Amino acid sequence: MTSTPRTTRRVALVTGGSGGIGKAVVERLAADGFALAVHYAGNKAKAEALVEEITAAGGQAIAVSGDVADEHEMGAAFDAVETAFGGIDVVINTAGIMVLAPIADLDLDDLDRMHRTNIRGTFVVAQQAARRVRRGGAIINVSTSVTRTQLPAYGAYVASKAAVQSIALILARELRGKDITVNTVAPGPVATPLFLEGKDEATIAHFAQATPLERLGEPRDVAESVAFLAGPARWVNGQVLYTNGGLA
């Protein structure tokens, strides 16, 4: 962990913050003046490079590690953020994995691995956030618009992300009286390594043409929605925000 002093800025912890959508979220919130905790599971170098980029621009950031599905490791990560910055205002959970296969063919070990990260990991992060986020704060999960498009080969992944949405919807009601919003952003096809892996050019072009805007989303498109929910959107609570360019 990189050390920085306590801060009077609003503080955000972004899981999976070293790459893809998570990195774009970190950069967007840093531009909004947040102090950032960049969480990583395996790529310490990328997380620390992002921290150095933020601090070089005059911001505040630390890197924290941990398996999102391990309550002890994530408890330690939340502890590190509170020690460095004095508290936590916003938690954004972008960490997730995707394995695609028809239901009839999916390796059940892949099912277990995906559900451990996407469901248990979301639950562990949400549990810690529910206990620690300060009044006026926000908890934001990342799901997928495929929960309502029923694409073949996405069955197991969609099952895990539907659970992510349900966790957030219920947690929003459980936090009544604490002035903490809980929402989910559900992106459409976004040009990240997670989405592009294993897809040929024709498949990618098909997804790009599926939206009225006729392009893939960019990580920064999703980051804009997250920034809205993390900041001014205090009357948006217990919702799923489909950030997908109009994907049906």
Predicted local distance difference test score (pLDDT) of residue 230? 97
In a domain, 25, yes or no: yes
- 238 found inside a domain: yes
Q: Quick check: is 89 in a domain? A: yes
210: in domain: no
| Residue 201: strand, helix, or coil | helix
Average pLDDT over residues 150-160: 93
* Other Cβ atoms closer than 10 A to 238: 15
Residue 1, pLDDT above cutoff 50 = no
> Is residue 202 situated within a structural domain?
no
Catalytically annotated residues: 157
Q: Work out how many domains the chain is built from and give that number.
A: 1
Assessment of whether the complete model's pTM goes beyond 0.85: yes
In a domain, 214, yes or no: no
- Alpha-carbon distance 112 to 114, whole Å? 6
pLDDT reported for residue 205: 85
Q: CA–CA separation, 12 vs 123, rounded Å? A: 18
Average pLDDT over residues 41-61: 96
Share of the chain above pLDDT 70, in %: 98
The CATH number of the domain holding residue 97 is 3.40.50.720
* Domain membership flag for residue 84: yes
97-109 pLDDT, tens per residue? 999 999 999 999 9
Listed in order, strand segments (DSSP E) in 102-180 are 133-142
pLDDT of residue 219: 93
Domain presence at residue 206: no
Whether 10 has a pLDDT exceeding 70, the answer reads yes
pLDDT tens digit sequence for 214-240: 888 899 999 999 999 999 999 999 999
At position 16, the amino acid (one-letter code) is G
Most confident of 7-11, 184-188, 207-211, 213-217: 184-188
Per-residue pLDDT band at 112 (split at 50, 70, 90): very high
Structural domain range at position 170 = 11-190+219-243
